Amino acid sequence: MNSRAPHIIGISGTTCSGKSSLAKRIRDGLTGKTISIISCDWYYRDLSELPPSEREKRNFDIPEALEMDLLRRDLESLASGSGILRPVYDFSTHTRSPHAIQITPGDIIIVEGLFVLYWEEIRHLLDTKVFIFLTEAESLARRLERDVRERGRTEQSVVEQYQTTVKPMTQRYVLPTRHFADILVRGTDPVEHSAETVISSIPCVGKHLT
């Protein structure tokens, strides 16, 4: 490990490229370490002050849709050894629950999300930066399946959102950030191989996949 504990890994990439799956596989592959995983999806802004019809019109695929300052403060707290109360977000209503969840600091912090490498304030905190690439067709197919199953969306709404905001915002905000990455992997690669690549790059950790 480097001189600062914990070691912070940032995982970014195109929509549905497998960011959370890679984070979990890294966690499961590391032995003898405590791991804290932070998802940027928890930090979408609470739109409860808006009527439901207005919430749907908001662009959720821009960095401003998330509370970056809150995410930064939480990461800084974990990095300093303090626990946090992380937000709970409901994607079906675009609102934040009044009940937060306790997260304790670990030896390694993994933060994953679309804009992890976009924000300079977040990049500054990262020791290892990872970008996962997935083609447009692959991203749409995975997002369609996920949002209908997990987020209560209709197929039509998912496709419309992808064409109007997800695709152009990915091209504008997400894809250019791959140049900040230390490690580039493909979302179609076996997640075990991608996790091994990341783990083996961490100083004094090496390959510990099981």
Domain 7-201 sits in CATH at 3.40.50.300
Token pair 């091994």 in the structure block, residue = 196
CA neighbor of 41 nearest in space, from 66, 19, 24, 11 = 66
**What's the farthest any 2 CA atoms get from each other in the chain?**
51
- At 20 the pLDDT is 94
Cβ proximity of 139 and 17 under 8 Å: yes
Q: CA–CA separation, 6 vs 128, rounded Å?
A: 12
User: Does the reported pTM lie above 0.75?
Assistant: yes
In order along its 210 residues, the chain shows pLDDT tens digits of 334 579 999 999 998 999 999 999 999 999 888 999 999 999 999 999 999 999 988 999 999 999 999 999 999 999 999 999 999 999 889 999 999 999 999 899 999 999 999 999 999 999 999 999 999 999 999 988 888 888 778 889 888 888 998 899 999 999 999 999 999 999 999 999 999 999 999 986 644 444
Question: Which residues fall within 8 angstroms of residue 65, CB to CB, at 6 or more apart?
Answer: 44, 45, 58, 59
The sign of the torsion formed by the CA atoms of 117, 122, 187, 87 equals negative
Q: CA–CA separation, 146 vs 154, rounded Å?
A: 11
- At 3 the pLDDT is 43
Q: CA–CA separation, 17 vs 188, rounded Å?
A: 8
Q: CA–CA separation, 139 vs 145, rounded Å?
A: 10
Every domain of the chain and the residues it spans? 7-201
Output the CA–CA distances (angstroms, integers) from residue 38 to 9, 28, 53, 88, 113, in the order listed: 10, 15, 30, 12, 9
